Chains A and B, each alone.
Chain A
Amino acid sequence: MSDPFVKDPAFRSVTGETFAEMMDVTRYAGRTALFDGIIGQSHDHYWDPNDPAYIDYTQPFDLERDLVLPMGMFPELYSAPLARLDEPTRIALANENARWLLSGILHGEQAALALCARLANMLVDPGTQEFIANQAREESRHVTAFANYMAARWGAPYPPGETIGALLCELVETEEVYRKFVGMQILVEGLAMSIFATVQMNTADPVLKRLTQLVITDESFHHSFGKTWAELTVPDLAQAERDMVEDWAVEVFETLVLNLINVREKRAVYARFGLDWAEIAAACEAFYGSAARREQVSQQVSIFRSLAKMLVKAGIVTARTRHRYAAWLDMDAVEAEEDYLEFIGDLVSATGLELLDGINRGRKPIGKTARVEA
């Protein structure tokens, strides 16, 4: 294994530029069993994003009166220029913020689909290939489901913010497999799981509640891929490679934090209301004072604590990089506490599997037109 980032043969890769390597006759027999359990369960959590038996996008929701997500998820709504707006405008603004957040999720799902499709052509092990191809298939139904939801509620999603858009492009396009694993399979998937768990617990929209439940049920299987890679790789990396993994992880972490809290990223949202994002950003600074950045993150505390906790458990946060996480979070508390969003994700996934078992029992899996019998 000449690739210094490969410590288990299940994660060997090639560039994917030529196909000849995939027809090496010795390759087919070298299949890992690491992911067979997850692959075998894929039918247990099958769902069809276009079948109302799984999600009924026609369920009503009054965007003018009700909040899709609580205002507390968007701390700038408490800053002076926004706090003084009338209540209907604040509700509309909060719901546009939810639209922006969920648009980012949709772009992330599309990136995960593209990244998995590329990895299926780069990873060498047939078992790992099957896992990642299966993940690509499941990400594609998430894209369909979130696109359906955006169409039902708002007509169309927002374009990606500059920061998250650039990051997703880099993750999909990089030829370095470790950067894909750390960036997407661990960090972006981990952040998505935390956001889904938070949204699932807090949304008042029954469609979004069901959607996130079904997506969590899939994602809990995907997320384990990144964890498995970290467990089998990180402890055995040479110092130079370990440093590269740690540095890339903290760089992606900081990008994700900034994307979620930075008012500038969401300027398209505020422009719809004739509001100046720079004025709002300045008001947030004044509202939170010198500890503005850390305080803003503390408003999103559960999501980022969960993400940092996951990196700690994966051995990717060490003394070299800990201070960079500590600029945003109380790392002593993160290291000491349980990962509650992971706990919630596990519960949602378990109840989602039970739900799908009930629905799928009534399904006739015959061709593409099969639908659940009423």
Chain B
Amino acid sequence: MELKAAMHEIRKDTDKAKAFLDDPEGTLKSMGVDTSAARITKTTHAPVGSTHSVCGSGGCGVCVSAG
């Protein structure tokens, strides 16, 4: 699935929206979106307590998309 189509689907579906906010990359992958070009690195999370692995650009959902 294309990213744009996936975003449209997520907007319309509250459960998918919640899933995306909790796990952007996993949700997109589960919808068949190719996230291989996304710039996701796991360099900035706290030793304890981070809820998301985030990229150096400052936003995991954003990086998945901006890749």
Chain A interfacial positions (CB closer than 8 Å to B): 61-62, 65-67, 70-73, 75, 87, 91, 197-198, 200-204, 209, 298-303, 305, 337-338, 340-341, 343-344, 346-348, 350-351, 354
Contacts and interface: CB of A to CB of B under 8 A. Distances in A.
B62 A302 contact: yes
Nearest to A66: B49
A67 to B, nearest CB: 4
Contacts of A200: 21
Given A302-B57, A338-B4, A347 B65 contact: no
A73 B50 contact: no
Contacts, number: 111
B56 A299 contact: yes
Chain A interface mostly: helix
B29 interface: no
A301 B59 CA distance: 9
Interface in B32-67: 43-52, 54-63, 65-66
18 contacts: A62-B48, A70-B50, A72-B44, A201-B52, A202-B59, A298-B57, A300-B58, A301-B57, A302-B66, A303-B58, A337-B66, A340-B62, A340-B65, A341-B59, A343-B11, A344-B59, A347-B11, A350-B17
B37 to A, nearest CB: 13
Nearest to A65: B48
B60 A202 contact: yes
The 10 A-B residue pairs with the shortest CB-CB distance, nearest first, are: A66-B49, A67-B46, A302-B62, A72-B44, A70-B44, A340-B65, A72-B56, A347-B17, A70-B54, A204-B49
Contacts of B60: 201-202
Contacts of B61: 201, 340, 344
B57 A66 contact: no
Given A299-B58, A338-B7, A354-B14, A71 B44 contact: yes
Nearest to B3: A338
A39 to B, nearest CB: 24
A202 B53 CA distance: 8
Interface bracket on B: 20 to 34
Given A200-B21, A204-B51, 13 more contacts: A65-B46, A66-B49, A67-B49, A67-B50, A91-B47, A201-B52, A202-B60, A300-B58, A303-B58, A305-B66, A337-B65, A340-B62, A354-B14
B65 A351 contact: no
B46 A73 contact: no
B19 to A, nearest CB: 10
A344 B65 CA distance: 11
B45 A67 contact: yes
B47 A302 contact: no
Contacts of B63: 302
Contacts of A340: 61-62, 65-66
Contacts of A67: 45-46, 49-50
Contacts of B21: 200-201, 344, 347-348, 351
Contacts of A341: 59, 62
